Structure 1
Amino acid sequence: MQAILADFHNQTSPDHWVLFARLIGASLFGGLIGLEREMRHHSAGLRTHILVSLAAALFVIVSTQVPELMPDDSNVLRVDPTRVIQAITEGVAFLAAGIVFFQKGTVKGLTTGAGLWFSGAVGLTIGLGLWSLGIFGSLLGLFVLFLLQKLEAKTRISPRNKSGEKPDQSPDAE
């Protein structure tokens, strides 16, 4: 029992409250991206974006803590943080690609898929403790999703597909 309690107070890692704050931050800022998708009734909404961002943060936090948990033998463990980032990026891209589909001559879900991928990047950034970068990136992402969508809708010329029908005019029809 003492070993378990000692594990909760591991002095070699950052304060657990800092790590918990990073997870909460990743959930919050990834969730802001998902909230925009949720408001537009897309398949990957608030909860999906929060989980993607939270998972990315957890993976990167765990990867930064692994060296602290291993013995001091430098031959035992060589950590390359870029490999963790690459794995997270590929995993989230796989999820995002599953949302994109082709229907009646138009691509659907592309912005939602990009939002998922972006939420993973936000989670990864905040998970590493790069708060200002993650928050600023989230704000830029929200700018793109909210304000540029309105500008895009005002300037969009309604194209017609080969059958002469107007394509779906939903905000995520790109």
Structure 2
Amino acid sequence: MGNVEDITRIVVRLLVALVLGGLLGYERERVGASAGLRTHMMVSMGSALFVLIPLQAGMEVSDLSRVLQGVTAGIGFLGAGAILKHNDKDDIKGLTTAASVWTTAAIGIAAGMGREATAVLSALFAIVVLAILRAPDKSGKQ
């Protein structure tokens, strides 16, 4: 793993990814979404790992585009599994959860690349969107 400085950097980045993913996952779990706390934490930490490992191996930041493309495609596939279309053309469930999983992956990538401030700010914005800007349900309640 390296020296104390390297270990500290890895631990901080992974913890930031886990905590921020957990915040989004907690909100999703609280409302009964299909992907909750553990899923969001794993997506965020996994995304952080996908950029941390190549950086540790000496890959240049400019060469990470292929890694990011793979993570983005994989997360898109995971998010698609959360989307359910029902018989009614307007009855689609899981789009917000899929979007939150996608956003969580991006937050994990930011944390993994050492952009903790960007990760935190993005997570705060996501919490605002998910928790505060909640659309009223069909009965008119919020």
Matching residue's letter, 2:12: A
Return 5+ residue gaps in structure 1 as ranges.
1-7, 69-76, 159-165
The secondary structure found in structure 1 opposite 2:81 is helix
Q: Confirm whether residue 58 of structure 1 aligns to residue 53 of structure 2.
A: no
Compute the displacement of 1:42 (Å): 1.4
What is the CA RMSD across the aligned residues, in angstroms? 2.4
4+ residue runs over 4 A deviation: none
Matching residue's letter, 1:47: R
Task: Give per-residue Cα distances to partners, 1:19-76, cap 9 Å, x unaligned.
Answer: 11100110000111111110011111000000000000011000111227xxxxxxxx
Number of matched pairs: 139
The secondary structure found in structure 1 opposite 2:57 is helix
Matching residue's letter, 1:34: G
Q: TM-score normalised to the size of structure 2?
A: 0.89
Compute the displacement of 1:136 (Å): 0.2
What does residue 116 of structure 1 align with?
101
Q: Which has the larger radius of gyration?
A: 1
Compute the displacement of 1:10 (Å): 5.5
Q: TM-score normalised to the size of structure 1?
A: 0.73
Counterpart pick for 1:30 among 11, 14, 21: 21
What does residue 58 of structure 2 align with?
67
The secondary structure found in structure 1 opposite 2:65 is helix
CA 1:140–1:9: 2 relative to 1, 3 Å: same
CA 1:128–1:116: 2 relative to 1, 3 Å: same
What does residue 121 of structure 2 align with?
136
Return 5+ residue gaps in structure 2 as ranges.
none
Counterpart pick for 2:70 among 84, 87, 90: 87
Separation of aligned partners in 1, 2:8 and 2:18: 15
What does residue 148 of structure 1 align with?
133
What does residue 102 of structure 1 align with?
85
Task: Give per-residue Cα distances to partners, 1:86-106, cap 9 Å, x unaligned.
Answer: 111111111001110101311
Q: Percent identity?
A: 37
Separation of aligned partners in 2, 1:117 and 1:104: 26
CA 1:100–1:170: 2 relative to 1, 3 Å: farther
